[in-house]
Structure 1
Amino acid sequence: MGAIYRHNLPQSQGGQFLTDSGLETTLIFDNGLDLPCFASYPLLDSVSGRQTLRAYFERHLSIAADNSTGFVLEAPTWRASRDWGAQLGHSASDLERFNGAAIALLADIRGTAGAISPIVISGNIGPRGDGYRPDTAMSADEAEAYHAEQIKWFAATAADMVSAFTLSTVNEGVGVIRAASAAGIPSVVSYTTETDGRLPDGTPLGEAIEQTDMATAGAAAYFMVNCAHPDHFRAALETEATWLKRVWGVRANASRLSHAELDEAEELDPGNPAELGRDYARLKQMLPNLRVYGGCCGTDHRHVEAIADCCVHHQGPH
């Protein structure tokens, strides 16, 4: 646990950070876009696509400006790794270009964001398989080898860190962290949980974080939880365990539906933004280092506004 402040990320200095919401669900349900494989990175190939992404991020950045917080800009690259890219007909060189273009877009957005500070650029990594099902069960070595490719691409850009979201196994989290350490870039791992507060492979959330830290000598900058409603994992936080201090961020779903139900849903369930904001305020009481607030499936800028209203205070670090 002694490595928590190893990385010189602005998040390590305290303060509070907003981030974005459910990018892909917003693009599909609000913008009416078709995203095969739930991949947003192909939008980077067109002027209109880049404009759509820019408008999305700038809408969220305006909330940070209103609340005097920092912001974590997550690249639209959750599916921009080898296996998913192959399904979309993209080669490794194509994917390297897409990942680089994503960070370049975010760097440009950061450069025109005015007084919002600090803004951290994160290379976003998704699971090799389906994040809801541990169906691509890898060893830690296999996960490291797979994710090292995308992480090396990010390490050659202006990205400040990499974040792996919606991971469902400890081995994949360990692999990401090891690959990032080898590439010399800070890493964050975000696990998803089912309605029982356990990872999709059955591991309790707290055990997953403890096992990941043990296997990596605490090398991750911090951990997050994403793609689950607070009701699904709140009970897992009802403890005095040390691992709670390692959870610095939450990107929850607005919907209380299970992953299986979300997979089958044909309409968006946006939940209740104000209620979600209050749920985050409760999480903040349970997570002593919670400082990065955003949303996941079914959320949009309204949810981030509500979360900011309930959680952000202007007196600095808490």
Structure 2
Amino acid sequence: MQQLLKDNNLILMEAAIVEPLRRSVDIQLHPRLVNAPLIYEKAGRAALAGLYQGYMDIAAAAQKPFLMCAPTWRANRERVTETGIKTSINIDAVHFLQELRELQGAEKNNIRIGGLIGCKNDCYKPEEALSATEAEAFHAWQVEQLQQSGADFIIAETLPAIEEAIGVARAIEQSGLPYFISFVIMRNGCLLDGTSLETATSVIDVNTLRQPLGFMVNCAYPGFLCAERQPPELFNRLVGCLANASSLDHCDLD
């Protein structure tokens, strides 16, 4: 993964997966696990495959590497246990994407698969975020499952607060897999808890023995990054933007 970043000045990632599913009349998202259980349903697998395939086709046409993430955003131990679903759901979700990748012919060599982790609670409410110690313990089980899955990397997304981000980074670094940390930001370019991106990236780098490959922002309009006001050094570590199409604040989105 490190070499992939060094060798390419542009890498594509999937766009929305959950949102088009949420608006589909044929698909029912799980109230706790969101899109993860769809891998066990015929219609759900077809819907997921169609979305991922569309993004893979775009990357292939552009002749760019492509990163795609398993639908495991909410498949943490707490939610998996309370719903009674198969405890192998994280592993099964990664295997589902690996099967899709195998269908891509020569293009499969340009595709990397990530295990996706989300925060424990509401990603738009930083006051609900875990402490670093709590987060390291809470996310450890899912990290272990994704490590066993054969994923190429792990990415923690939709992190609204620095404390939980530190903890999940510490949990992931123990897996030995390359990883990314991605924050939700406000329109002033800061995390939802008010931490600047410069501070957030520096704090995580200092508090981990094996640092992330890079940092990203997600679920925010591109302009929220305020790139022109960020210190240039930030972009040595900030490597990606998974943007919203809407410029509305998070509280105004449906």
Q: For residues 259 and 239 of structure 1, do their structure 2 counterparts lie closer, same or farther at Cα, with a shift above 3 Å needed? A: closer
Decide which of 52, 70, 73 is 1:75's aligned counterpart: 70
Q: Aligned partner of 1:139: which letter?
A: S
**Aligned equivalents of 1:9, 1:28: Cα separation in 2:** 36
Partner residue of 2:50? 55
Cα-to-partner distance string for 1:71-97 (whole Å, 9 max, x where unaligned): 10110111111234356x236xx2x31
Partner residue of 1:139? 131
Higher alpha-carbon deviation: 152-161 or 8-17: 8-17
Partner residue of 2:182? 190
Partner residue of 1:252? 243
Alignment check: 8 A CA contact 1:15 1:69 kept: no
Give unpaired runs (5+ residues) of structure 1.
1-6, 266-318
Matched, 1:155 2:147: yes
**Aligned equivalents of 1:31, 1:81: Cα separation in 2:** 27
Residue aligned with 2:104, SS: coil
Partner residue of 1:25? 19
1:137 is displaced (CA, Å) by 2.9
Residue aligned with 1:21, SS: coil
Q: For residues 240 and 260 of structure 1, do their structure 2 counterparts lie closer, same or farther at Cα, with a shift above 3 Å needed? A: closer
Alignment check: 8 A CA contact 1:20 1:73 kept: yes
Alignment check: 8 A CA contact 1:125 1:164 kept: yes
Decide which of 180, 184, 190 is 2:172's aligned counterpart: 180
Alignment check: 8 A CA contact 1:129 1:135 kept: no
Matched, 1:204 2:174: no
Percent of residue pairs identical: 33
What's the Cα RMSD here?
1.9
**Aligned equivalents of 2:150, 2:90: Cα separation in 1:** 11
Q: For residues 43 and 14 of structure 1, do their structure 2 counterparts lie closer, same or farther at Cα, with a shift above 3 Å needed? A: same
1:57 is displaced (CA, Å) by 0.5
Alignment check: 8 A CA contact 1:10 1:120 kept: no
**Aligned equivalents of 2:2, 2:127: Cα separation in 1:** 35
Residue aligned with 1:257, SS: coil
**Aligned equivalents of 1:157, 1:13: Cα separation in 2:** 26
Q: Aligned partner of 1:122: which letter?
A: G
Q: How many residues align?
A: 252
**Aligned equivalents of 2:5, 2:90: Cα separation in 1:** 23
TM-score, scaled to structure 2: 0.92
Partner residue of 1:238? 229
Cα-to-partner distance string for 1:117-151 (whole Å, 9 max, x where unaligned): 42111001111111111133322121111111101
Q: For residues 200 and 90 of structure 1, do their structure 2 counterparts lie closer, same or farther at Cα, with a shift above 3 Å needed? A: farther
Partner residue of 2:88? 97
Partner residue of 1:228? 220
Partner residue of 1:303? none
Alignment check: 8 A CA contact 1:17 1:72 kept: yes
Q: For residues 122 and 172 of structure 1, do their structure 2 counterparts lie closer, same or farther at Cα, with a shift above 3 Å needed? A: same
Partner residue of 1:281? none
1:217 is displaced (CA, Å) by 4.5
Q: For residues 63 and 162 of structure 1, do their structure 2 counterparts lie closer, same or farther at Cα, with a shift above 3 Å needed? A: same
**Aligned equivalents of 1:152, 1:23: Cα separation in 2:** 24
1:10 is displaced (CA, Å) by 2.4
Residue aligned with 1:174, SS: helix
**Aligned equivalents of 1:9, 1:86: Cα separation in 2:** 37
TM-score, scaled to structure 1: 0.74
Decide which of 11, 28, 31 is 1:34's aligned counterpart: 28
Give unpaired runs (5+ residues) of structure 2.
none
Cα-to-partner distance string for 1:258-317 (whole Å, 9 max, x where unaligned): 11111xx2xxxxxxxxxxxxxxxxxxxxxxxxxxxxxxxxxxxxxxxxxxxxxxxxxxxx
**Aligned equivalents of 1:102, 1:75: Cα separation in 2:** 6
